[in-house]
Amino acid sequence: MANLQSLLGNLHTFNVAARTLSFTEAAKLLHLTQGAVSHRIKVLEQELGFNLFVRGTRKLTLTDEGRRFQGTLASSLNNIFSEIDDIRHTELSGDLTISTSPGIAYEWLIPKLPDFKAKYPKFNLKVMTQELELEFETNNIDVALYYGASERPDVYRIKMFDERYVPVCTPQYAKENRLFEDGMASLSRVNFLYAATSTVWSRWAKHHKVNIDIAKQCCVFTHQDMAVFSARKGLGVAMGRYRFVKDALESGELVSPYPGMETHKTHDLLCPLGSEKRPKVRTFINWVMGQIDQTN
């Protein structure tokens, strides 16, 4: 990248010097010293393998090769800088594809997206929900939000927040089944709600050293967010992620009849390594982290 930047700088310097036919004037326009301009031209001539200027005592003229090269270069540089400006403008508008799990989408991202659209109305958002992480390149994904995402060397990763699990149900369900009164003993009559691929209840039982048979009385779903949704409807007890059930617990819509469980995994924002510097991706990253700062 450094060599490319140096080459572009030298080409731009030559183009200015070729228009002014004066290293002194070029230096003024480029805010460089005359010596720096002369050095850049010499380096460029060495890289090209031919002279660009005839250096007289009082007059600077282009060689035939320099004149031919400058004619092509002037048009090319104008196109390059015009394209860069267009890319920069486009990067702050157009499509932004976000991949995430259904739980993060419904409980965290979507409720906050009106704020993003209000601030950046030119973005068209495409939200893809999938429990398993999708390949960025195959699915044209710009950025992803996932819990417990796998470590990959080709992926940029920034932690959003920690998480802990809390069993949740409606106050009515807890009252009807005397969950608070009987404590852990009431687990024997609970209807367990969970995703088919989840092991969180068994891990929770091991953590708290209790024996439970979640298959004895249960409802099993394809997605974890369906389990929490069913708990909101009074179907039983689901294991919720605190970040996503916090508001419902604070409002009293849900209660937590049993102790929670800390987890070492985190919610992370991910994108292909290097694309975190792209204006549209950086804009989204900054917005996400701003949302997290507001709730911490």
CATH of residue 146's domain is: 3.40.190.10
Looking at the structure, tell me whether residues 150 and 270 fall in a common domain: yes
Range of the domain at 225: 164-264
Name the residue type at position 152: R
28 CB-near residues (< 8 Å, 6+ apart)? none
| Integer Cα distance of 103 and 116 in angstroms | 19
pTM: 0.61
Looking at the structure, tell me whether residues 258 and 170 fall in a common domain: yes
Looking at the structure, tell me whether residues 70 and 137 fall in a common domain: no
Give residue for tokens 């998480």. Answer: 163
Looking at the structure, tell me whether residues 61 and 75 fall in a common domain: yes
What CATH number does residue 44 fall under?
1.10.10.10
Looking at the structure, tell me whether residues 21 and 43 fall in a common domain: yes
What is the domain count for the chain?
A: 3
Joined tokens for residue 3? 């060599």
Give residue for tokens 């060689």. Answer: 63
Q: How confident is the model at residue 128, as a pLDDT?
A: 92
Looking at the structure, tell me whether residues 176 and 157 fall in a common domain: no
pLDDT < 70 positions in the chain: 1-4, 78-79, 81-91, 295-296
Looking at the structure, tell me whether residues 142 and 274 fall in a common domain: yes
Looking at the structure, tell me whether residues 232 and 274 fall in a common domain: no
Q: What percent of the chain is predicted at pLDDT more than 70?
A: 93
Q: How confident is the model at residue 88, as a pLDDT?
A: 58
Looking at the structure, tell me whether residues 37 and 152 fall in a common domain: no
Looking at the structure, tell me whether residues 158 and 270 fall in a common domain: yes
Looking at the structure, tell me whether residues 169 and 44 fall in a common domain: no
CB hemisphere CA count around 132 (13 angstroms) = 4
Nearest to 134 by CA among 98, 94, 105: 98
**pLDDT, tens digit (0-9, with 9 covering 90-100), for 250-283:** 999 999 999 999 988 899 999 988 888 888 899 9
Nearest to 110 by CA among 76, 78, 145: 145
